[in-house]
Amino acid sequence: GIMREGKLLALDTPSALKHSALPGVAWQVRAAPLLTALTALEACPAVLRLGLVGDHLRAITATAEDAPALRGALEAAGVPITALETVEPTLEDVFLSLAK
């Protein structure tokens, strides 16, 4: 189960939660400089949620067809992209999506 402030937000297996509770596709974005990439993607309309995860960014978009929008936002900001790929969502992604 996923809980916040004593309230049950969702109850299912981890795999099912990752596929049913997340409102889209998770992306791993590796680009530098990282803070410039973060700012560029924050302004991108395709991004539903964005966060810094160690040495890369994690973005959530509605569909996998949003790759050109992500790439375009980074290129417009002059940010070289090392990697832009869909990844398996984490339970943290699910929690942050449900806890908004």
The DSSP code sequence of 13-75 is -HHHHHHHTS-SEEEEEEESSHHHHHHHHHT-TTEEEEEEETTEEEEEESSGGGHHHHHHHHH
Confidence of residue 82 (pLDDT cuts 50, 70, 90): very high
How wide is the angle at C-alpha 18 spanned by C-alphas 14 and 21, nearest 5°? 115
Average pLDDT over residues 32-50: 96
83 pLDDT higher than 90:
yes
pLDDT tens digits along 46-79:
999 999 998 999 999 999 999 999 999 999 999 9
Q: How far is CA 94 from CA 27, 37, 100, in A?
A: 14, 23, 10
Higher pLDDT, 35 or 20: 35
Share of the chain above pLDDT 90, in %: 63
Structure tokens that stand for 4 in this block: 């916040």
Q: What is the pTM of this model?
A: 0.83
What is the helix (H) or strand (E) element at residue 93, kind and residue range?
Answer: helix 91-98
